[in-house]
Structure 1
Amino acid sequence: MPVSAPVRTRNRTASDCLQVARNCTASFRYGTAWNRAVRHRGTAVALLCAALLVAGCSQNDDASSIVRTTTNIAGAGVVGLDRDTSQACPLPSAPDPSNGKTRTVTHAAGTSEVPADPQRVVVLSTSALDATCAVGLWERVVGAVPIDGPRPQPMYLGYGVLKIPAVGSAAQPDLGQIAALHPDLIIGDTSAGASGFTALQAIAPTVLADSASGWQTEFTTLAAGLGRRGAAVTALENYRAEARETGNVLAASQSQASAVRFTADQMQVQGSNSFAGQVLADVGVQRPTAQRGTSFDVTDKDLIKVEGDIIYVIFAGESGERYGRTVLRGDAWKDLGAATDKRVFAVDDTVWHGDGLTAARALLADLRGSLNGFVTD
């Protein structure tokens, strides 16, 4: 089953090292677009996994040692290939106290009378699936809308979620499929309610969060629908403490990090209103002067706006990666200081452009493995 702690790079046990090897193999077997380029190089896979074991299992790993990535995209070192998803979700949390079998929850679409401790949950957004993971209830999910890409659900949530039946798409959930699963609760966000809150409510009590309210508020609303408001408060407190500790250990305030996302034909700086921007702020990472506002698009002609001490690049699917590669291989990009210093890192779109507590904690792990690092391969 998926709980929540990345494989640490310091003082690993033998079992930890074995898990790294397994994760490395899994990354190449089930990996995203950025590692497909090396998928058919069998000997390279073996050498890369061996390098992970040697670099990651030393007895006295120095926290300030340079990061060694396993592969790269157009010069950008890939982060997160050895992510340990075996502990992505905690054990089930206890329900909030209740005077009966139901409770009233106020949410973005209205008010719903939901089970005090739901047992069969359908989720209509990745943020909702992330929330069930964060409070330990992902195994109660009987149906979920899939995401685009090679896997129906984000890799950072682990492999167990892949077995959850699909119920249409995020843009158009299938009401018939949902009803056939006999859920006692439906949760999602307002953008996932295309079929209409009334229609969903006719199948089962429904709670929809406001996706524009900020990920922490959205998580709290979804957790309340699951009867875990108390667990959500505790989980958020733990996350904030972890973010502060991460910032202190990394001396995060000494770095100006740029975050740029590529779609099929656009390049967008992830500003203060983005998920990545909010988590970076929680850690205390500084942003370049040009990036201290909300998100904005940039072009090849104004690439100076993406400059930073370190640049994180995010590719939205295969089309985003194709466009991103053309930019990263251009002379204007190569002239950036971060590119010259080999401090450009490619990160997982489902994590850095995510929307939930589990994704936020995965992003913290990515920062711990890269903020003070350099690309060496």
Structure 2
Amino acid sequence: MKKLIATTLISLCSSMSYAAQFPLAVKAENGTVILEKKPERIIVLEFGLLDELKLLGVKPVGVGKSDSTEGQDPAYLQEFIKDIPGVGTRDEPSLEAIANLKPDLILGEISFIAKLLPQLNKIAPTVLLNGILGDTKVQIKNLKILSEITNNEFKVDGIVKHHDQIRNNAISIAKKSPQKNVLMGYVTPSGVFRALSANAIATPILKDLNKVNLIQETSSMHRVELTVEGIIQKNPDQIVILLTDGDSSPYKKLQENPLWKDVRAFKSNQIYFLDRNVWAKTHGLEAMQIKYEEAIKSGFLTGTPQNQFSLNEIN
């Protein structure tokens, strides 16, 4: 009994030693934000930041959602937010819906809603971070900021350690195979291939996994359109098709082009199908872990033909 009490006290003291002192000065992308007290009603307008709140065990009172062109919200977040009201999309939230929820903190993406900052600040203190384009280091930085705001700093080391184990395992597997040149992107309903550009967050992840993104140019939209002729000219070793909500029908449209059969990656069975919701829509730490796990399970890292979406099934 004494041992149990001692252990409990040690745990309690450890948690208390991490507790942030309020008022708290938060260094964000939109400057230093002063929080007078620990927020209890948080609205989050970016999936990566939502991802990290989930890892910390903090439920928001409102969330920004996917827009109509993006498909569903990421599957791994759906259970967590199923009872949480939406407040519009992540880049065009409803100010009225946000105000009605009476938040005491708003979290958002600097590149999405910086223009709305004056209006949002009138509703509640607003912290803007680099979520959608943040690499692993940035996501860990975001996690630490959110953990301080919510008094969950004692959870950070375990979360980061778990992420690093998954990441390092994927990197180790990838290094056992020769480096491959790849194209990664999604297909529009009309059959146009949109490849992720050099400045897309997937590019450094691919580099981690011993892959080279053949798209060297940058784009404000983080993608470039390629014709089938353009794909053939790039001559990738592998192609990753990012499926929206598991829908392979756009890929079928792409296959209708008679030149598709001349694509080397197609002929060598090096087409892989991964989740667009994870690879192109959210980059929180849990999403990163899912990316690495998908890359392993699909066979993409080792060049093993994929089983989940065989070309015969899609044809």
User: Same-fold call, TM > 0.5?
Assistant: yes
Question: Per-residue deviation at 1:147?
Answer: 0.8
The letter of the residue matching 2:39 is P
Whether the 8 Å contact between 2:133 and 2:283 is mirrored in structure 1 is no
CA-to-aligned-CA distance 1:210-230 (integer Å, 9 cap, x gap) = 357633325523641452567
Q: In structure 1, what is the equivalent of residue 3 of structure 2?
A: none
- Identity over aligned pairs, percent: 23
Gap runs ≥5 in structure 2: 1-14
The correspondence for 2:29, drawn from 71, 83, 108, is 108
Query: Pick from 76, 90, 102: which aligns with 1:182?
Result: 102
Residue number in structure 2 paired with 1:133: 54
Instruction: Call closer, same or farther: CA 1:234–1:365 in 2, change over 3 Å.
Output: same
Shift in alpha-carbon separation, 1:328–1:239, aligned structure 2, 3 A: farther
What TM-score do you get using the length of structure 1 for normalisation? 0.63
The residue number in structure 2 matching 1:119 is 40
> For 2:273, what is the secondary structure of its paired residue?
strand
Return the offset for 1:106: 1.5
Q: Deviations over 1:224-268 (max 9, x none)?
A: 145256755664454344222212234455251431233456433
Q: Any idea what the Cα deviations from partners look like across 1:153-188, whole Å, max 9, x if unmatched?
A: 211224232221011222322222222222222101
Question: What pairs with 1:111-260 in structure 2 (closer than 5 Å)?
Answer: 111-114=32-35, 117-137=38-58, 140-148=59-67, 153-193=73-113, 196-210=116-130, 214-216=134-136, 217=138, 220-221=141-142, 223-227=144-148, 231-232=155-156, 235-236=159-160, 238-251=162-175, 253-256=177-180, 257-260=182-185
- Summarize the Cα distance change of 1:308–1:116 in structure 2 as closer, same or farther, 3 Å threshold: farther
Aligned length: 279
Q: Deviations over 1:107-152 (max 9, x none)?
A: 1112212366433210112222122123332xx2110111135975
Give CA-to-partner distance per residue, 1:332-356, whole Å, 9 cap, x none: 2222222112221222111110322
Task: Give the direction of change, closer, same or farther, for the CA distance of 1:151–1:213 in structure 2 (3 Å limit).
Answer: closer
Please state how far the C-alpha of 1:324 moved relative to its aligned partner. Answer: 3.7
Q: Which residue is equivalent to 1:349? A: 276
Indicate the larger mover: 251-260 or 231-240: 231-240
Higher strand share: 2
2:210 matches 1:285 = yes
Q: Match of 2:142, SS?
A: helix
Change (3 A) 1:205 1:97: farther
Match of 2:6 in 1: none
Q: Cα RMSD over matched residues?
A: 3.2
Q: Does structure 1 conserve the Cα–Cα contact (< 8 Å) formed by 2:140 and 2:160?
A: no
TM-score (normalizing by structure 2): 0.74
**Are the aligned partners of 1:262 and 1:323 in contact in 2 as well (CA < 8 Å)?**
yes
Tell me the residue number matched to 1:335.
262
In structure 1, list runs of 5 or more residues that go unmatched: 1-93
Amino acid at match of 2:167: A
1:360 aligns with 2:279: no
Which residue identity is paired with 1:185? L
SS in 2 for 1:221: helix
Secondary structure of 2:205's counterpart equals helix
1:304 partnered with 2:238: no
Letter in 2 for 1:205: P
1:45-88 Cα offsets, whole Å, 9 max, x none, are xxxxxxxxxxxxxxxxxxxxxxxxxxxxxxxxxxxxxxxxxxxx
Distance 2:227 2:49 in 1: 34
